[in-house]
Amino acid sequence: MKLMKLQDILKQEQTQSEAQIQHTCVAWFRHTFPDHAELLFAVPNGGMRTGASGAMRKYEGAVAGAPDIIFLHKKGGYGALLIEMKKPKVRGQQSAGKQSEAQKVFQHKAERDGFKYVTIHGLQEFIEELCLYAQIDYAPYLDDVCENYETYRKAKL
């Protein structure tokens, strides 16, 4: 039953934008771990911008290749968990979303300096990677998502 529901969630995610998937991941995390809610946050670095807004972001300190989400929680010898969100593989396509060269360079530098960096393709991978980082069993959290996926997807942040 759970495997079928996870497959249904993945199928639904294939039609969603990266931003929609990221929203669901953040909503799930904040609901599930309220004591750490503010320690997981998005880096407003991507998306389409006008020349002026792009220049303003750079002026403010935006860095090419920075990950989409940061979890400021020291664990397992790492200073933080850095998460790059990508769309899952869509039926008929050869591959899922991939990192840009700037993202690969950022990942290399972050890992060299003691941070854990992961690229994930949907809520299931998000939960698994986050729980592996936190050194907790992810199975109960996957069960929870199977029962409450739409709640997290529609949550207000």
Which CATH number do you get for residue 95?
3.40.1350.10
pLDDT at res. 48: 61
- 28 residue type, one letter: W
Range of the domain at 98: 2-153
In angstroms, rounded to a whole number, what is the distance separating the alpha carbons of residues 110 and 82? 8
pLDDT along the chain (157 residues), means of 10: 81 92 97 97 77 81 93 96 90 76 97 97 96 96 94 93
The total domain count for the chain is 1
Predicted TM-score of the model (pTM): 0.90
